[in-house]
Structure formats: structure tokens, C-alpha cells
Chain A
Amino acid sequence: MAAADRPTAVRAEGVVKRFGPTVALDRAHLAVRPGEAHALVGRNGAGKSTLVSVLTGMERPDEGTVTFSDEPAPGYGDTAAWQRKVACVYQKSMVVPDLTVAENLYLGRFQGTGRIRWRALREDARALLAEYGVDVDPRTRAKDLTVEQGQFVEIARALSFGARLIILDEPTAQLDAGGIERLFAKLRELRRQGVAFLFISHHLREVYELCDTVTVFRDARHVVTAPVAELPKDELVAAMTGDAEAGPPKRARGAVRAPVPRQEVVPRQEVVPRQEAVPRQEAVPRRQAGPGAEPVLRTEGLALEGEFDPLDLVVRPGEVVGLAGATASGNTAVGETLVGLRKPDGGRVAVRGRAVRPGSVPHALDAGIGYVPEDRHRQGLVLGRSVAENATLTVTDQLGPFGTVLPSRTRAFASRMIASLDIKTSGPAQPVSGLSGGNQQKVVIARALAREPSVLVAIRPTAGVDVKSKEALLGVVREVAAAGSGALIVSDELDDLRVCDRVLAFFHGRVVAEFGDDWSDRALVAAMEGMATAEHGAPTAGAEAGATGKRGESGKRGESGKRGKSGDQGREGSQS
């Protein structure tokens, strides 16, 4: 490699790491130059996390070397020395929530001896934050920070230790579009100061937007490193998934495919001429229900004060409806209200014509509303329990007579789910904590589908899963619809919404635009962003603008357009 003779922020060579019989890293190598934004991508289980652990001194490699600026890495366990070299900003914030920002910044290294000089501490913190252009009051408690501010604080803290390499592990997972923009702006600014970034993300479009070099890992091995400009999206995805260049046959490795007759969920798409608003080609044909069909879900004036305004919604059999909207736009609240987790202030919900008692999950379930919650760790899974238990949690009343739950039936039921959703597990008895993110999400979907719901409400169903799992999950949603049920996808991910027949865009609790399946990324993103309002305009004005002129011009056009375009890239990336 040409880069080999230039100084590197970090260089790992021949790194081998084994966990018991499993090889987590097999002669892996990686080099990041100062000031570079280097993307590290790979499917779940490719070895990215292990490499990060090795690069941050959390794990000692069995073989191989790590150097920082051509100096050998600090000894294993010398945390302070590692902190001066490299820092990792994780998905979940690592700050102490009840301490102030100032304390968090200087935690474990307060100046002087003995008592803490609060005033000096705050001044130091203020200066430190100012140095890196982070606009946060050091007296704020860390728990009151937004996700974005928390990340900035963590980055500033890492830099103040002297680290010139920051590893960002899915930093955008919890951010809305504006937050992502600001994060990226900050990262570009820091790169000009010579800070290098190793950027780990499932969002390939962000890789293309931010990074100049990308490294792909697969099955514990380094596959390719290339400038992003020289690696088109389809090749990148091919490198991640290990599929041969031109594609078929999919899943070359020992395909134990679902025995359930299931059409290929997402076929490799012929290269369609690039144009906005190409509807995603579906394997499962969209069955457009005639307008006469009885809706599987109907809401009338459903409202929740402070979350969303009265909503009339109709989902017909065979239809997938998207509720698009950024964080706190109210779309999530609609989903949670439909499944009974929140009690609406007014309005009615009916499933296949039958009224559903509001604010009660058991009643919603009985009525036929399946629920895929937003955060699988918080609401979706009991991590310590088995796949079988989690998958059957909603159907315990069907697994035996007189309130009993027969293990044999539980196992059989779970095995059927594992097979039909293609969940990679060692068996129904494996705890879900041992599954990869994508497979955990499949268990959550299994749980929702177990009752064969009339309508499936899925909130951000593909958050934090890799490209292939994403396709599989969305394919499942389409299949549910194809089988005559309805589905509601609540998300701000364009890829999620692309499988929808209709998309309603939410902004500040109101539906500001409705699209068929021919929406353009730009128009949808603009509507979700409330057109001109995201930063400066008055919210109401924005909502009106969104409602009336959804394809109109707006002050935010530039940004929205860019996001939309990168959304296209993401879509292509996902069509492996």
C-alpha cells in the first residue's frame, strides 16, 4: 500500500484474536492516517467490535502489532496511556449521568490534590469545550444533554487526553437528520486539526458522505481497503456480504433457507436507471387492495395531547403504510398509542371493524395488533431468556390447556419461527443476548407475528441491523401484507419507508404530507423536516408549508436535497 510509508495515526498488522474456538480476528490489518475519516464496515459479526477493542486496549490481541504514529501501542492494561492515544465514542453514552459536564470531563484526573476547586474546574471545562467548539454549559448535568451534545462532550474529553484518533461506533444511530449534519460538520472541522476518525456505521450513505477511505471486514478478515470514491456502492455491499460480483446465487455459504415457502425476499435488483423515486422492486407483489376492502385498521380522531393531533388513518388489507417523521414528530407516539402502550386522549381505533379498548396492550394484542417496538433492548426482548421464550411471549395462552405453557409446544412454535424468519441461533434454548443485532430483531418480529396479527405496527424495525438483515426484516413486513394483513411502519429511515405503499409524513404531531409509493426522497425528507423550519422557522408555519406545498421550494432545500440524495445511495447500498 502506498500509505505504508506515510505516518499513520494507527496501524494494526496481523492481528489475531481468538475467543475460545472462535476466531474473532484473523490476521486483520488496518491503517488510519492523521486527519483521515476512515470507515470500517462489515456485517454483524465481521470482527469490527473486536478490532475496536484491540485498537482501544480493551482486548489484548493474541498475535500482531498495533502502533500509534509508528510507536508501539501502550501495554495492555495501561489505561491512561491508551487514553492519550485513542478514544471510542460508543452508541450508548459512557458519561456519568448525574454528574455535571465539567466533572465528567475531568473525572479521574481532577487538578491538584485534595479538595476539588469547583470554580477552576468549571473554568477549565469551559475553556476545553470552547477549544473544540462545543457549545455546552459545563454546569449542565450530563443526563440533561441531548445525544448529540453528549457525543460532542465525549469527543472533547477524548481529545483533551491527547488522543488524535477517535473511534465512532454508530454515532448517528440516535440522532435526527439535523443532529447528524451538525455532527458531521464538527467531525470535518476536527479533521482539519489533524484528528483522525474511524467511523463504524451501518448507514452506508453516511460512509460516502463523511469518509475518504473505507475498510471492509468480513468473517473476521480484512477484505478490502479503498478510497470511497473508487468503490461504488454495489461493490462495497458485495464486499461486505461476500457475494460474487454479479450476484446470484445468494447465500452461497450453505444455505439452510427457510423451509417455509417464501419467495426470495428481496431479489437482486437489475440496475435500474438512476432516477429519483424509482419504486423499490418487490419480490412479494404488492397487492393493492381495492378501496372497497374492509380496512384492517381504522382510527378516527385518535389524539394524544402534546404528541399528535387527531388522526384519521385507514390501513387496508395488503397495504403497508409508512408513518414518516423525525424524532419527536409524533409518529412514534401514534404507534405506541395504537398498540396500547399509551392511552389516547380521544378517538377510536378499530381493527377489522371491531373497536379496540384504548390504552391496553393485552386488548390491542387480542384485537390483532402486532407490535415491533422501537428499541429492542428496552421493550423488545428479555435478554437473559431464551429465543423460544421471547418469541412466544405474546402467545403463552395458546401453548397449552388451562393456562399451562408446555415446553414441547413452546419449542415447536419457536422452531417454526426460527425457520420461517431464518433466525441464526444454536436453537430455541439459546438466550437472545447471544444473538447478533439482526437476529435479535428477528426474534422481536417473531414475537409480534406469533399471534398472526391483522395489522403489524413496527417502529423503526431495522434500527442497528446490518444490510442483509434489514432486507430480510422489511421483506417479512411485506409478506405479512401479502398474506392479507396490514402493516404500519413508523420510521425516519428512507429504506424502511421504501417498502410502503403509502407514506404519511409527520411533523410536530401532524400529518403534513401524504405520498403514494412514488415519492421522491427529497420531497419526503423535506416534509419530515417540516420544510423551512428545522432550524429557524416557526413550527406551525413549517407544518403548513409541508401540508400545502410538499413539493415546493424551501429554505432548507439544499440540506434536504443532500440528505435525500444520500438516501438514494443508502438504498442502492441495501440492494445487495
Chain B
Amino acid sequence: MSHGAASSDKCEPNFVPLLDLVLQLVMFFMLCANFVIEQTNVTIELPHAAAAKILDKGIEYAIYLNVNSEGVVLLAPSDQYTDSQGNVISTLNNPDQVETFLKRRARDDIAAAGPGGADKPLRSVIILRVHKNCPFEKTYGIMKACRRAGYHRVQLRALLVQPD
């Protein structure tokens, strides 16, 4: 019985198609990754709505009001401020505090608008992210505070669902 000469060729698996596939998967998951926007609060459970429209990406200036189930506005870290007594304000507990906060922001908007800014509509849009268990009384109080502060453009946020 004769045996053939032993081959000296290396046997290497072809990794290239595997790498292509894995890189495509990595790309997919990277693109789908949801990065938490600083101004949105993940503890706010939004109600569902089928008629809600897809978010307008063109909004340049927005003021996020995250309202929890007790009707307290939770300010994003970048929106927190220090009051005259040196206390850091991170929550707004009633409509009057909301109005005070929004009037501060309205002053910034007017200043940014330049000469005659007081006569122009405020550039910011108020984005209301209200918890699904928040009573209407609280939501309405906040909406009235927005109005009193001079804001007219308000968006209510909801989770998009498919219509029945």
C-alpha cells in the first residue's frame, strides 16, 4: 500500500466573508442604538397615540418639560438653575414656578432675537412630555403657565402606535 506525499499547504479558513457579515451586523446595531437625549427623562411613561406625527427634526430651539405622574416638572441638568437664595432648582412643583422658569427662558429668546425681539414670536417650542398617569388639572396648569410666559407653540409628546 502506498501513501501519497504529505502536502505542505496550510489549511486556513476563509475569514473574509465572516468578517463582512459581522461588520454589517455591527453597523446595524450601531445605527439602531438609541442614545438617550439629555433633555428627555426616561422615567416619564408617555401615553400612546396613533394620530401623533413623526418628530419634526427642524426644531432648533426647544424647551423640554418632563412632567411626572404627580405633575412635577423635572428639569434636565442643562436647564437647572440657582435661585436668589443659592438653591439649585431641579424641579418645578407648581404652575407659578413653571411660569417663572419659562419667563427666564423667554427673556433669553427675546435677547437672542435682537432689536425688536419683544414684538416677535418666541423662537423656542415647548415640548410637553407628560406622564400617562398625570391628572389633567396639572397638565392644564402647566399649559396655562406656558401661555402666561408668552409661548404659543407647544407640542405634546406620545408614543406612536399603529392605528386599530
Do these two chains interact?
Answer: no
A interface residue numbers (CB < 8 A to B) = none
Residues of B bordering A, CB below 8 Å: none
